[in-house]
Structure 1
Amino acid sequence: MNARPSPYQITAFTYVAREKSFSRAAARLDVTQSSVTQHVAKLERQMGTQLFIRRRGGLELTRAGAELFSVTDRLATMEQLVHEKISDYGALTDGHIRLIANAPRPAMPIIAHYGALYPKVQIDFTLYDWTTSMELLMERKVDIAIVTEPEDSDSLFIRELRRTRYKAHMRSDHPLASHKEISLRDMQNDTLILPEDGSLTQKVAAQKIREQDLSFPRIIRTTTFPMVKEAILHGLGIGILLENSLFPSEKLAAVPIREMTEEYRDCVTIPADKRDLKLIRSFMDVAVDARAEQVF
């Protein structure tokens, strides 16, 4: 009969999987890196399989590792909840949040607001396309995501922050910038600028273009929303983006699109069992307050 893995092995593995690094996991656990490495190595021997693959950008979970992490991360969350319930918790002074979003706003104003209130809490923030954001959430590789129209799932807790619609973004000196409304057909002579494959924006825009039986001979697909903004500011064309998804600029104009009047929800989305964690609750509260104060 195989020996049961020790709690130390499970904890070490879970933190390495979260941090994608043995050294960062050791720092989070306040133990030596060799201790973490040994615990994970013992766990791999017990399971008879490799749990991590070393890549240039960090560690990557194998299939077996990903399946194990989906369970151990829930266990670590429950242990943290128990600790918070029985401990005499004072002010929130430190911690670590893994946060992603599919657009710079409203995420960045909320992060700024949160940082002012909790300056010692570390936030790792990265932009991903919509598809990748949902995958990372479902795989429990992040704590919080601020995404547009997240997929409904019993494993996720979703809180709406605002509703927004798509507009045509262009330089303020563009001939169409002074119009109160334009159609997709009005934009056909321009280069269309869209975010990368996997983005909600690209899916919605492609569907609307098909519905109108239109074609755009020139389309530029960029890697991130900031790159879309830079392309627009450099006069490369017109971008289709959700209103207020970029930091306001006097050099940019956003014009309503006649065929794209639907509203979309920007939401804070978290794994449901992490909802009651103190760090997560604190961020959620700040996001809701920011919504009420209309800081984004």
Structure 2
Amino acid sequence: MNLFQLRAFDAVARDGSFTRAAARLFISQPAVTGHIKALEEHYQITLLRRAARRVELTEEGIKLAAITRSIFGQVDEAQALLEANRQLLTGRLEVAADGPHMVMPMLAKLRARYPGITVNLRLGNAQETLAALLSEHADVAVLTQVEPRKGVHLQPLNESRICALVPAGHPWLADPAGIRLEQLDQVIMVLREPSSITRRTFDEACAKAGIQPKVLLELDSREAVTEAVAAELGVGVVSSVEVSRDPRVHAIPIHGEGLLNHHMLGCMERRRELRLIQAFFELASS
């Protein structure tokens, strides 16, 4: 069995792209393609389906990827352990986050302290970010409202408050102190999808207070909510750490119970002593 071929397959399976796999392995894209073609031909098996813009795993590919992820995950851990006493002159850190606003300052600190470190950042919703960490597609993850679980090390970062997002010129902007949660009863709103952490926190607070907003639109991104509010389709909600610098909209505080979210930095417990992960946690808490 050719480990170079398996490593190439594992990289494509992780990244879903021959180009990104080549960058991960520091070899050319044709070399990655050649390794996988040789693997498939030798074992008379189809592991990948090549589409126009993405690569998908076949059923056999999914099974093999689970094995190679474990194999090369342990190889990466062994390499990290052997290099633990080095000064982090080189290395690669896989980071996942459920939004860009909190993680970017952390990456700026990492870049300033360790300019030789390469970072791959995955942005997704809360569920995707946690899944990336648990499946070890990410070394560290910035998480919101995650419950403690066995095998995961969590470090508190900060907390944020749910705010109302209104268009410029809205009457509520006259009071800089903000609004009460009760003022949103029967108000037309444009919100993220129910699986969004911000939406979930807001819905739970409304339910507890007996408030019933009128949800006109459910949108799948913060940017879409901003555009809908700017078009005066309704009032939105946004986390205080994710307020857009857009003159068309303004965030105002909402006063009420249950409107706080807690943010944490997480990694797998068994990997928390790895030097690069330790360094990122130290920078995040400084």
Bin of the TM-score, shorter chain as denominator length: 0.7 to 0.9
Change in CA separation of 1:66 and 1:246 when aligned onto 2, cut-off 3 Å:
farther
Map of 2:35 onto structure 1: 39
Q: 1:294 — aligned with what?
A: none
Secondary structure in structure 1 of the residue aligned to 2:243: coil
How many angstroms apart in 1 are the aligned matches of 2:35 and 2:129? Answer: 30
Deviations 1:169-215 (A, max 9, x none): 33564322316453443124543232235311222333344444543
Q: Tell me if 1:21 matches 2:47.
A: no
Equivalent position of 2:255 in the other structure:
257
Of residues 37-46 and 151-160 in structure 1, the stretch that sits farther from structure 2 once superposed is 37-46
Aligned CA distance change for structure 1 residues 26 and 172 (closer, same or farther; 3 Å): closer
2:8 maps to amino acid: A
Residue 65 of structure 1 deviates from its aligned partner by 3.4
Q: Cα 1:214–1:79, aligned 2, differ >3 Å: closer, same or farther?
A: same
CA deviation string 1:95-153 (max 9, x = no partner): 43333322232122222222333334333334312222223333333333212022433
Deviations 1:57-99, CA, capped at 9 Å, x for gaps: 4223344434443443343233233224434864333443333
Which position in structure 1 is the counterpart of 2:149?
Answer: 153
Letter in 2 for 1:216: P
Separation (CA, whole Å) in 1 of partners of 2:94 and 2:83 = 24
Q: Which residue of 2 aligns with 1:267?
A: 264
1:264 partner letter: N
Aligned residue in 1 for 2:212: 215
Indicate how the Cα distance of structure 1 residues 27 and 256 shifts in structure 2: closer, same or farther if over 3 A, else same.
Answer: closer
CA RMSD of the aligned region, Å?
3.3
30, 47, 50: which one aligns with 1:51: 47
Q: Determine the structure 1 residue equivalent to 2:125.
A: 129
Q: Mapping of 1:1-296 within 5 angstroms?
A: 5-44=1-40, 49-87=45-83, 90-171=86-167, 173-177=169-173, 178=175, 180=177, 182-188=179-185, 190-233=187-230, 235-246=232-243, 252-261=250-259, 263-289=260-286
**Could you say if the C-alpha distance between residues 71 and 272 of structure 1 is closer, same or farther in structure 2, counting changes exceeding 3 Å?**
farther
How many residues matched?
Answer: 284
Larger deviation, residues 246-255 vs 98-107: 246-255
Q: CA deviation at 1:51?
A: 3.0
SS at match of 1:105: helix
Q: Does the aligned pair in 1 maintain the 2:265–2:281 contact within 8 Å? A: yes
Paired residues of 1:233 and 1:252 also in contact (CA < 8 A): no
Query: What CA deviation, in whole Å up to 9, does each residue of 1:229-288 have, x standing for no partner?
Result: 444455443222332233567862331332434x43211123444434443333222212
How far apart are the structure 2 equivalents of 1:79 and 1:68? 16
CA gap of 1:24–1:99, structure 2 versus 1, over 3 A, is same
1:206 counterpart letter in structure 2: D
Structure 1, gaps ≥5 residues long: 290-296
Cα 1:97–1:233 shift into 2, 3 Å = farther
Amino acid at match of 1:22: F
Determine what percentage of the aligned residue pairs are the same residue.
24
Q: Compared with structure 1, are the counterparts of its residues 137 and 23 closer, same or farther at alpha carbon in structure 2 (3 Å cutoff)?
A: same
Letter in 1 for 2:163: K
SS in structure 2 of the partner of residue 80 of structure 1: helix
- Could you say if the C-alpha distance between residues 40 and 277 of structure 1 is closer, same or farther in structure 2, counting changes exceeding 3 Å? farther
Residues 127 and 85 of structure 1: is their aligned pair in 2 closer, same or farther, counting only changes over 3 Å? Answer: closer
Q: Output the CA distance in 2 between the equivalents of 1:274 and 1:62.
A: 30
- Match of 1:163, SS? strand
Q: Which amino acid aligns with 2:12?
A: V
